[in-house]
């Protein structure tokens, strides 16, 4: 599989083993118009800026690598595990919920996870190519979706976290696990960069430059390398400051984002 996106620079390095169907799915899932509501979250950027006044000259240079690193160490093991074995979806969701200690981060993760489940049910399910050999992913999504509704009154209800749902949906849609991880981190980077534009930290051209940059590709590859083989029991917070920034988003006087 090709591992050197960003997509804007892949013309000389075309995906080789990705089938057209998988490429189509990748384009679909990496589209910012995918209705997950990701634009509503800044992953702590807004709070980071409020805690660093006056802001450093290039705040995103510091913040983006920290934010992605935090996401990778907490979420990638769950994504990979769900992609490999969808039957674990419910227990992965519970354990990730137990490990997501900040309500602001939980809101962001479950809002996007539930939205993705909705997109799967309403839009993708009817069109997926059935690339799975055993249909376990489709079954797991159906069961999990029912459980989300049924367990609402329980002491520890199903939460619908983003990373494991993403893992299963990408599997069902025929996207390889490593690509699924790459797009997950890339989409998170895009959400932070887009938040930065709206928070007037940078202009739209500069933002595209960040997304197109070799640094971002290298950063994502590095994080995949570092956290891909970590078991879910070893997933954790590698950037403790993110917990403080995201948690303290609640005490900002004015907010334009939900996280």
Partner 1 sequence: MASPFASSTSLPGLGTIHVALLPPTTPVLQTLSYQYPLKLIAPDPSTLRTDAGAHLVHTVFLLTYGGGLVAGDTIDLRIKLSHPSRLVLLTQGSTKIFKTPTRSLVSGQRLVVDFEPGAALCYLPDPVQPYADSVFEQTQVYNVPGPDSSLCVCDWVSEGRTARGEKWSFYKYTSKNEVWLVPEEGDRKLILRDNVLLDDSGNVAPIAGRIDNLGVFGTLILVGPLFKALGEYFVDEFKRLPRIGNRNWDDTKEVMTDSIEVARARRQKQETKDGLLWTAAHVRGLVLVKFGAREVEGVKQWLSTMIKAEGSIETNFGERALLCLK
Judged by CB, which is closer to partner 1: 67, or 112? 67
Query: Which one of 21, 28, 40, 66 is in contact with partner 1 (CB under 8 A)?
Result: 66
**Interface size with partner 1, residues (CB under 8 A):** 39
Residue 256 within binding range of partner 1, rule CB under 8 A: no
Residue 240 within binding range of partner 1, rule CB under 8 A: yes
Distance CA 141, CA 40 (A): 25
Residue 108 within binding range of partner 1, rule CB under 8 A: no
Residue 156 within binding range of partner 1, rule CB under 8 A: yes
* Beta-carbon contacts of residue 179 (< 8 Å; ≥ 6 apart): 1, 18, 22, 26, 170
DSSP letter at 155? Answer: S
Residue 59 within binding range of partner 1, rule CB under 8 A: no
Least spacing, CB of residue 190 vs partner 1, in Å: 20
Residue 67 within binding range of partner 1, rule CB under 8 A: no
CA-closest candidate to residue 96, choices 83, 115, 109, 114: 109
Judged by CB, which is closer to partner 1: 120, or 162? 162
Angle, alpha carbons 45-207-190 (nearest 5°)? 60
Distance CA 64, CA 186 (A): 11
Distance CA 52, CA 29 (A): 34
Residue 152 within binding range of partner 1, rule CB under 8 A: no
3-state DSSP assignment of residue 240: helix
Residue 15 within binding range of partner 1, rule CB under 8 A: no
* Beta-carbon contacts of residue 163 (< 8 Å; ≥ 6 apart): 75, 76, 78, 79, 82, 96, 109, 113, 184
Q: CA torsion sign, 153 to 157 to 158 to 161?
A: positive
Least spacing, CB of residue 63 vs partner 1, in Å: 10
Residue 236 within binding range of partner 1, rule CB under 8 A: yes
Structure tokens at 2: 């090709």
In the shown chain, the binding pattern of residues 216 to 235 toward partner 1, with x for contact by CB under 8 A and - for none, equals: ------xx-xx-------xx
Least spacing, CB of residue 173 vs partner 1, in Å: 29
Least spacing, CB of residue 74 vs partner 1, in Å: 9
Least spacing, CB of residue 245 vs partner 1, in Å: 8
Residue 169 within binding range of partner 1, rule CB under 8 A: no
Number of alpha carbons in the 13 Å side-chain half-sphere of residue 44: 30
Within positions 121 to 150, which residues make up the interface with partner 1, using CB under 8 A?
none
3-state DSSP assignment of residue 170: helix
Q: What is the contact surface with partner 1 in residues (CB under 8 A)?
A: 50-51, 62, 65-66, 69, 73, 94-95, 97-99, 101-103, 155-156, 222-223, 225-226, 234-241, 243-245, 247-248, 250-254
């Amino acid at each position: 599989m090709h591992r050197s996106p960003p997509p804007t620079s892949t013309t000389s390095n075309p995906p080789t083993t990705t089938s057209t169907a998988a490429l189509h799915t990748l384009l679909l899932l990496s589209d910012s118009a995918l209705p997950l509501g990701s634009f509503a979250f800044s992953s702590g950027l807004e709070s980071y800026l409020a805690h660093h006044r006056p802001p450093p000259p290039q705040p995103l240079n510091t913040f983006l690598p920290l934010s992605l690193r935090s996401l990778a160490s907490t979420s990638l093991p769950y994504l990979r595990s769900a992609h490999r074995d969808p039957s674990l979806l419910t227990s992965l969701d519970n354990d990730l919920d137990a490990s997501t200690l900040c309500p602001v981060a939980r809101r962001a993760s479950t809002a996007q996870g539930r939205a993705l489940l909705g997109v799967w049910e309403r839009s993708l399910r009817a069109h997926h190519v059935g690339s799975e050999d055993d249909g376990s992913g489709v079954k797991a999504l159906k069961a999990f979706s029912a459980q989300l509704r049924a367990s609402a009154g329980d002491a520890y209800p199903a939460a619908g976290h983003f990373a494991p749902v993403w893992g299963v949906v990408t599997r069902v849609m025929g996207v390889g696990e490593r690509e699924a991880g790459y797009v997950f981190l890339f989409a998170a980077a895009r959400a932070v960069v887009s938040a930065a534009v709206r928070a007037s930290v940078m202009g739209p051209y500069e933002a595209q430059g960040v997304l197109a940059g070799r640094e971002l590709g290298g950063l994502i590859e590095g994080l995949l390398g570092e956290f891909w083989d970590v078991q879910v029991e070893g997933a954790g917070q590698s950037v403790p400051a993110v917990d403080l920034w995201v948690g303290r988003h609640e005490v900002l006087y004015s907010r334009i984002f939900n996280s």
